[in-house]
Each structure stands twice: as structure tokens, then as C-alpha cells.
Structure 1
Amino acid sequence: MGGQTVGHLVRRNAWKHPDREATVHRSGGQRVAESTYAEFERRVNRVANGLADLGVEAGDTVALYMKNNVETLECFVGAMILGARPVPVNHRFKGQEVRYVLDDSGPEVAVVDGFGADTVEEIHDDPLVPVETFLYVGEDPPAFADSYEAFLESASDDAVDVVPDRSDQAALMYTSGTTGRPKGCRFTHDNLLTLAADGVYEGDHLEPGNRHLIVTPLFHVGAFVPFITNLYAGGTTVVTDGFDPERVLTLLEEESINSTYFVPTQSRMLLSVDDVDEYDLSALESYGTGAAPSGAELKRELIETFETDLVESFGQTEALATRLPPERTLEKAESVGRPALSLRMKVVDENGNRVPRGEIGRAAYKGPTVFDGYHDMPEKTDEAFDEDGWFVSDDLIRRDEEGFVYFVGRADDMIVSGGENVHPAEVEEVIHEHPDVDEVAVVGVPDETWGERVKAVVVPGADATDLDAEEVASHVEERIAGYKTPREIEFRSELPRNPTGKVLKSELA
């Protein structure tokens, strides 16, 4: 056995802090489950032993198709202790999508809850679904599944030898699939533990006993990695299975939350609560944000309202790349930060050559936090990594003289209009500066004359009553080149998003 693995973290915490809360599940405004580290270790051991009884071995996969709950956290660690790989499945996926992930990842065991039971009912006996045993979290399991609690009760809580090596695969996290089918990203124990160490010591400065709230879905790396990070710190992880702004504010107060993470849309909803200033959030020390640009004004309002450090992060499933230090947040408000502690970054052109500071290119990453490749997709993996082992992403960025990173857009989002390249993020940034604009997304749409034309989809602010297309176009034309000005402007009440907060631009074109 070489080096520490994720399973060691639970064993260590149970030994050092047996009576400290490990996990809490809040739902419907109240606690529905909780466990100390001693109890969490016993349940995790039962998961591991129970899976072994079902024939799960090192290298196998275990699918988790549930909303946020503590059982997901137990299964994450229980599977990893055996050297198996948990596969969290987007709980909003329906039949065809779930079937694809199960077929692709090949689990023999899947754990589901009531939220996804109807979907699994439709596909559980499909020849493409390899699952032999379904475990059901909740009362009255459906006919196709066994009770999760009964599964635990029948298993031993004896300590399990932590069998994997630090370099072994630990989890499969699927990309959000905004273009094409989701890809399974392999993560090793070394990936996860290095990400956790970076988060504790550089990003969130977490102390032992830190109380972290997870609102974003646990099938997303932006929630899964913070759980591992808080486990690394010996903290308490509080999960909730939905987002209601008033209920979340109450939860932050009642659970004395020290750190959390929200996407910008959620942040705006929290700030819109009428009596937001009346909640006692004095315990909150670190407010994380990411998945989409926040903008200077939102950052300033969050810091002033919640009186906390704001930590912006940037990256993708394959590589959590940058953090913006709280002390530079307002000074560098349009930046997404500097490369994380254990990550090397460079900006390259289409031939893989470095570009000078200030120029736009693709972000390329190397280091122990970069994912281990795509599951059963050797060609895609080869395409993603260059000959020197750098993962070359589709994110277009530039870096200033201090090394701060600025997100420009996605290479596959590029709009080519009349032979000119238009980066949607640049146009979005300009439109967002208009005081009556709440949100905006810019896409390219087919045009007989120009090949593509620039289209902007705008969500006006709550108090904006007179905003029209002409005003938006004039605002843009006064600030950047005319060919970047949207020729089509549509107003909507909200932008379509996937569960991780990313705008689904394919639905706007």
C-alpha cells in the first residue's frame, strides 16, 4: 500500500475526533440525518463490507443516482476504501441519459433514491444497463431494488483494510455534457488528496472543525471536491437537497456555517431576499463562487452583505485550475485568479506554442490535480493531452503581467462573423456593464451574409422597465468594435442552465 488514500481520512478523523459531527443532511428546513465521525466510520465500513459481499472489487464502479444526501457521502468513501470507483450520476438525467452513463461506466451496483426511482423503473432491466443490484435509500423500496438500510444492517462494521494505492483510480466524474455526450473523467486518490490539500492550505484556509455547506449537486466536481477537502480538514459537511434562498439563509445561520459555495445565479437570489441583512451569518468566513463569471458589482455586493472572504475559482471537471485570493478580489474583480498551488499553467496557440502575456490562447495544465484521462476513451484522452503531458483545454484565457488569469470564452463558442473572430465572453462582459442588465449570454447564429451573426440573450434587472434592443446595441457599439455588436437581441426572464449553473448556449442559438 503506497501512501495515504481517501479512506485514511475517515479513519484518522474517527480516531482523533470521534464525537465531532461528520455529516448533516438538511431537508425541508430541518435535520433529517446526522452522524459523528465515529458513526460515519462505522457506516462507511458497512458500505465497504456490504459492497464486497455483493462482489464489488478494486477497479469496479458503483453508481450513485440521488439528490444530495449523506448516503451519497457514505458511498463515496465506502467504495473508495475497496479500491472501487463511485460514479455520481446527474440526478436530473432521465432514462436515456442515465442508461448511457450506466452503460459507459459499467457498475454492478447502483444506489438510488425516491427522486430517481421512476426513471430507474423504466430502464433497470434494459440490456444496456449492467447493474445487477439496486439499493434504495428511503422507505418502501420499489420491486427492482433492495433496502439500503437493510444492506447496511446485514454488513459488518469491522474496519476495512484500505487497499488502494495513492496512484489508483478513486472516482469517475462525468462532464456536464453541454456539447455532445458526457465523458467520464478518471480521478486518482492522489488527484483528490492534492486538490484537498490545495483547498485547505491555499484556497479556503479551512481549520479543523470547519462547517461546510454543500448546496450544489454532489454529482458535480464543484461539490464532490469540497467534500473531500472538508474531510481532509476534519470538518463537518452539511448537505441540502434543494435551493430555496430563504431556507438556505436560515440554514447558514442555524448550522453556524463557516464555508460554502454558490454559483452566481444562486448568489443573486440570496441577495434578493428582502431581509437578507437580518440573518446572523457571523460564522461565515469563506464564500466560494464559480462555474460562471460573477462580475465586479456582484462580488462587491456579496462582500459587503455577508462580510466574508470571497473565493472565486475557475476550471472544469478535468482540472480545477485557479483561485482568486480574497485580498485581491475587488482589485482584480474581472480576473478568475492565479493557478492553484499544485498546478502548472500556460497559454498556448493552436499549435501548442506559448503566447505572450496579455494575448489570448488556450489554457493548458499540468500537475497532480489534473484528471487521469477519460474512461474508455483513449482517443479522446490522446487528443486532450499533448506529447509532453499537458492537458490542453478549450478555455480561452489571457494572463496579465502578475499572472492573473482572465477568462475570455470557449474555443468551441467562438463566433466567426464576416471573417472576424468574436469571443462571446468579451461581448457579455460589456453588456453586463449596463446597469439594467442582470444576466446575458452571447451566441453565434447562422447568417447568409456574414456566415454567423452575434446574438445576445438578455435578462433585464428587476427594476428595468424601459430597456430595449436599440439601447443594448448602442451600449455595446460605443465600447467595442462594431462587428462585435449583436445584430440580434432577445429578452428573456431567465437563461437556461444545466444543474451546475452553466448556461446552455445550445438552447439559445
Structure 2
Amino acid sequence: MARLTDYTSFADAQAHASSAALWELFDGDREFLNIAHECITRHADGSGRTAVRIAHADGQDEILSFDEIAARSAQFAHWLVEQGIGPGERIAFMLEPSLPFYTSLFGAMMTGAISVPLFTLFGLDGLRLRVDDCKPSLLVTNEEKADIAHQVEGLKVVVANDALLETISKYPTTFEAKTKATDMAVFQYTSGTTRELPAAVKHTHKSLVTLMFAALYGTGIRPGDEYFCPSSPAWGHGLWHGTLAPLALGVTTGTFAGKFDAVRLMQALQDYKITNMSAAATHYRMMKNSGKGGDFSFAIKKLSFTGEPCDPATLEFIDQTFHVPACSMYGTTEIGVVLVNFPGAEDYEVKPGSLGKPIPGLKLQVQRADGTETGPDEVGELMLWKRDHWETTKDLARRDAEGYLYHCGRADDVIISAGWTMSAVEIENTLLKHDAVDEVAVIGVPDETRGQVVKAFVVSKQAPSDPLVEELQKFTRERLAQHEFPRIVEFVSELPKTPAGKVHRKVLRDREAAKATAAVASN
């Protein structure tokens, strides 16, 4: 009998995708299911088959098999039980991808404990906020971060080193997982600043089943792929789409450890003969900016991206370098992936700049402020039908006549100047076409005459100058509209970003608001 993984076309996705068909991909059922078993244990057959390839920033490659991860995870699970840690307790870990990372992640879930991955670049404030929120029974981290972790009062810290691996090695290499499908498995914090604590999104073990719609139709994962996702597994994309989804299908996945380097990534894509990659838009942009794409030979057949829209210049780089279309995948940690471009489907046209079409079975609508549906190419708020009512995604979008959806910015990224409504994303995409612009972020700032004016923060290799400002303004006006250009341009060395790599416009807005407040106070 055919399974969903046997189908690759868009037509088959519409005809065969269903909740029941998803469950057929797993050993577990609606009553009992365990993520560690589905992703690791059931694929550990003694063959030594590769589960994860890790490209370390220093040039080293680390190869881990299903057998090794299964054995170490089981040993860690037995050790946790001996420590008195039971189902429902939180086990946090602040580790780069490595054997200790996967040992902690899956070992905790085997016991029924809840895994809480934390970003390795958190400082004391960022770590303390999350520890105070989820109250883990222990934190597993490396020697470098241990000093910071020990400063969090009441936190039990375990250092993931050779001594820990030696300690757990005396335990059995198998562990029988007995979790219910509805038991909590993962607490996932969305990316934010260290002083703003986003709520933890709580996932059950059966979340893995729902995830497979995104895996099959957002990243296009199928058995036989050589897969890679450079996003940190501390965040939703790196954990669910980069780690759990491919492993659940028995597909070898790849990831990046250490400070990101675009050239090192491309070296890994070449060396590992990667055929399918899913990454953040920022990763593709950094590869473009490196100027080294032509130095490597790639075997890529499917590409996807998420996090934010890809600008036209980067999409052009992807076409010229990888010779396959870049498929947008849209969603959030809270609502999951809802719009996809069906990578690998020969009967589906990927439209540049489009978010794609809804995952089979989902209903989305672009609405006006009064709740009515917009017409073709009319901008409105993107809404998702969920639990018998419309829920906002807090994003603006438009739908074309063929049903493709396009991102038009966050609802709070709209700039209204002298009555004109402008999209920060559209202005950014235009500026990024200029050779002098490496990165850019656009916001609206207060203006006594116009209410708001457009301000652009530009990262450029060229020296800042008034002629360059005038050139960028003219460049934008000629391509958009005479009123639609940055009246203020500030050159910066870097843009504020969330830990997941997205440009953090809110930080820029807050800075500008603070400047305006200080200016008023000084007068």
C-alpha cells in the first residue's frame, strides 16, 4: 500500500494527504507515541547508518549514526531515572549540535521528561529568564557556558564532557519508552531579545505527526534525500524541520555547529553531496554576499527557506548557483507551517517571491479590517481558520488570481506617510537590488509634517557619503513610486537580529522612539 512518502506531485498531495495517512508513517498510534523512538530507536538496526552530519565552524566533520545516538540516549535516560527525574520534569540543555546534544534531547524524551533546548549564545540574563520560566530539574551545557549557568541560583548544572559520557556508559544501551501521544515532549522558546521573554511553545509527542505535513510539502523531504539544515536546533526551524522531521523518516540530516560561516556551509554542501536543503533566508543572503558560490559544485535538487521573505537579488543568486527554485515555507513556532511551495513537485510552479499555497486541508484567507475577504492582489491581514474561528497571523499578505499568497510585511511594519501606505519589505527588497547595499532594514520614524517618514538602516562596503544617499533615494523612487523612498538613510556596521537570524525591526523602532523621547525632554 502506498504511503505519503511515495508521492511527490502537487496533485497527489491534494488527493492523498490526510491525518490518517500521516499516522501510517509511524510506529506509534494516537494513544502511545514517543518522539525519541520514532526519530532514533526504530532506525537503529545495527547497520551503522548515518543519522546526522555536523559541519563544525572550525572545519571538522562529525558523523553520528542512528545506532550511536540510540545507545547513548538510552544510557542517558537510565542515568536520569537514577537521578530521580521523572516524567513531566524539564531537562534543559544549552549545547551546539554534537553527540551530547542529541543524547540529551532524545534521552530526556525517552523517559517522559520534557526537553528544553536553549540557544548557546544566551548570556546570563537570557538564560535566567528561561530557567525561571520553565524551572528545569537540571541544565546540560558545555564547559564554556558552565560558569554562566552556575550563576543562576538553584540551577543544577551538568557539564557535557567526556566525564559525563564515561559516567553514563555503564548503563544499558536500550530503554523502553512508554509515553502517551498527548504527553508533553518539548518546550520551545521563540527567538527574541534577552530581556524580552517570548512564551514557551509547548509540544506533545504527537506534534511530530502534525509536523510531517511541513516536512513532506514544505521542505520536500523523502527517503533517499541527503538533507541539510544550518539553522540552530535551539529554534523551531532547526529543531523540528532540521532535526526531528528528517530523522523520523529515517533520512540523514546535516547541521552546522559554531559561529556561522557561509563558505564553510557551501563546503559542507559540496562534501556531503547534499540534495535537499532548508535554511533561513539570511543563510542564502550570506552565501550570496560571500561571493564564493561559484567556487563549489553542488548536487542540490530541492531548496526551501523560511524565517522571512527572500529578496529578489538573493533569489537570483539561488537560481544561478543551485539551478533549482527556492521554495518559501511560511509559518511560526506558535501556529506551525501553513503555506508551502511543494519542493520536488514537477506539476507545481514556484512563483518567485510567493509564500506558496496552503498545506493540504488548511484554510487561509486575506481579510480587510472589517473581516471581509480581499480581492485579488489587495493587501490585507492573513488569517488562519482554526478551532472554528479566524485567527490572525499578524502578517499582511495578498493573494493573486491563481491562489498564490505573497507576504507584505508584519502588520506593524506598515509605514503611513502623508496618507500614503508603504511596505517596509517592498522598500527593503528594492534597496537590496543596489550593488552598494549588503543588508538593509526599513522602519517608519515620526515626522511633524508627514506623520511618519521612511528611514533605512544600510550595511554597505562603500564609504558613507551624501552622494551615495542621494543615489539610493533616486534608485528607490525610480523603481517604486516618487513618494516611496527612504527620506532618511543611516549607514550602520550591522543590523540588530533575533538569535534566529531575522532582522529585528522592533529594536530599531524602539531605539528611534527613545531618541525622540530624549530630544523632547532636552527641549
With normalisation by structure 1, the TM-score equals 0.83
- The code of the aligned residue for 2:338 comes to A
Query: Quick one: which of 236, 241, 245 aligns to 1:229?
Result: 245
2: CA distance, partners of 1:316 / 1:70: 28
- Secondary structure of 2:354's counterpart equals coil
Q: Give, in angstroms, the shift of residue 111 of structure 1.
A: 1.0
2: CA distance, partners of 1:474 / 1:95: 45
Deviations 1:419-450 (A, max 9, x none): 55433123223333445433321112233344
Task: Name the stretch that deviates more: 223-232 or 173-182.
Answer: 173-182
Q: Which residue of 1 aligns with 2:6?
A: none
1: CA distance, partners of 2:325 / 2:396: 27
What is the identity percentage for the equivalent residue pairs of Structure 1 and Structure 2?
28
Query: Quick one: which of 11, 16, 19 aligns to 2:41?
Result: 11
Cα separation, partners in 2 of 1:333 and 1:83, compared to 1, 3 Å: same
- Secondary structure of 1:96's counterpart equals helix
Q: Which residue of 1 aligns with 2:358?
A: 339
- The code of the aligned residue for 1:238 comes to G
1: CA distance, partners of 2:249 / 2:407: 30
Q: Which residue of 2 aligns with 1:238?
A: 254
CA contact (8 A) 1:311 1:323 kept: yes
Q: Which residue of 1 aligns with 2:102?
A: 73
1: CA distance, partners of 2:210 / 2:116: 20
- Secondary structure of 2:397's counterpart equals strand
CA contact (8 A) 1:436 1:464 kept: no
Q: Which residue of 1 aligns with 2:384?
A: 365
Q: Which residue of 2 aligns with 1:298?
A: 314
Q: Which residue of 2 aligns with 1:261?
A: 278
1: CA distance, partners of 2:320 / 2:463: 21
Deviations 1:439-480 (A, max 9, x none): 321112233344432211123467999962222223333444
2: CA distance, partners of 1:470 / 1:441: 17
Q: Which residue of 2 aligns with 1:432?
A: 432
CA contact (8 A) 2:77 2:175 kept: no
Q: Give, in angstroms, the shift of residue 20 of structure 1.
A: 0.8
2: CA distance, partners of 1:181 / 1:251: 34
For residues 294-443 of structure 1, the aligned pairs below 5 Å read 294-318=310-334, 319-326=336-343, 332-341=351-360, 343-350=362-369, 352-366=371-385, 388=388, 390-418=390-418, 420-443=420-443
Q: Is residue 2:111 matched to residue 1:96?
A: no
- The code of the aligned residue for 1:446 comes to P
Deviations 1:331-390 (A, max 9, x none): 6212122223353322234455443343222223356xxxxxxxxxxxxxxxxxxx7354
Q: Is residue 2:265 matched to residue 1:248?
A: yes
Q: Is residue 2:157 matched to residue 1:134?
A: yes
Cα separation, partners in 2 of 1:235 and 1:46, compared to 1, 3 Å: same
- Secondary structure of 1:363's counterpart equals strand
Q: Give, in angstroms, the shift of residue 273 of structure 1.
A: 4.8
Q: Give, in angstroms, the shift of residue 97 of structure 1.
A: 1.3
1: CA distance, partners of 2:371 / 2:503: 28
Q: Which residue of 2 aligns with 1:384?
A: none
1: CA distance, partners of 2:361 / 2:249: 18
2: CA distance, partners of 1:36 / 1:476: 51
CA contact (8 A) 2:140 2:158 kept: yes
- Secondary structure of 2:151's counterpart equals helix
How many residue pairs match? The answer is 472
Q: Is residue 2:227 matched to residue 1:212?
A: yes
- The code of the aligned residue for 2:268 comes to L
- The code of the aligned residue for 1:13 comes to H
Query: Quick one: which of 200, 206, 212 aligns to 1:190?
Result: 206
- The code of the aligned residue for 1:213 comes to F
Cα separation, partners in 2 of 1:151 and 1:405, compared to 1, 3 Å: farther
- The code of the aligned residue for 2:296 comes to Y
Q: Which residue of 2 aligns with 1:380?
A: none
For residues 43-122 of structure 1, the aligned pairs below 5 Å read 43-122=72-151
CA contact (8 A) 1:323 1:336 kept: yes
Cα separation, partners in 2 of 1:309 and 1:417, compared to 1, 3 Å: closer
Q: Which residue of 1 aligns with 2:26?
A: none
CA contact (8 A) 2:413 2:424 kept: yes
CA contact (8 A) 2:280 2:307 kept: yes
For residues 128-207 of structure 1, the aligned pairs below 5 Å read 131=155, 133-139=156-162, 147-165=163-181, 167-177=182-192, 180-199=196-215, 201-207=216-222
For residues 444-483 of structure 1, the aligned pairs below 5 Å read 444-460=444-460, 468-483=468-483
- Secondary structure of 1:455's counterpart equals strand
Q: Give, in angstroms, the shift of residue 502 of structure 1.
A: 0.7
Task: Name the stretch that deviates more: 86-95 or 174-183.
Answer: 174-183
2: CA distance, partners of 1:106 / 1:435: 49
Q: Give, in angstroms, the shift of residue 113 of structure 1.
A: 1.3
Query: Quick one: which of 290, 296, 300 aligns to 1:279?
Result: 296
Task: Name the stretch that deviates more: 357-366 or 458-467.
Answer: 458-467
- Secondary structure of 1:486's counterpart equals coil
- Secondary structure of 1:217's counterpart equals coil
Structure 2 unmatched runs, 5+: 1-29, 513-523
- Secondary structure of 1:158's counterpart equals coil
Cα separation, partners in 2 of 1:431 and 1:245, compared to 1, 3 Å: closer
CA contact (8 A) 2:457 2:489 kept: yes
- The code of the aligned residue for 1:334 comes to G
- Secondary structure of 2:44's counterpart equals helix
CA contact (8 A) 1:310 1:329 kept: no
- Secondary structure of 2:501's counterpart equals coil
- The code of the aligned residue for 2:208 comes to L
2: CA distance, partners of 1:296 / 1:69: 35
- Secondary structure of 1:469's counterpart equals helix
2: CA distance, partners of 1:439 / 1:390: 35
- Secondary structure of 1:46's counterpart equals helix
CA contact (8 A) 2:93 2:118 kept: yes
2: CA distance, partners of 1:335 / 1:67: 33
- Secondary structure of 1:320's counterpart equals strand
Cα separation, partners in 2 of 1:435 and 1:278, compared to 1, 3 Å: closer
With normalisation by structure 2, the TM-score equals 0.81
Q: Which residue of 1 aligns with 2:498?
A: 498
1: CA distance, partners of 2:413 / 2:196: 14
- The code of the aligned residue for 2:212 comes to A
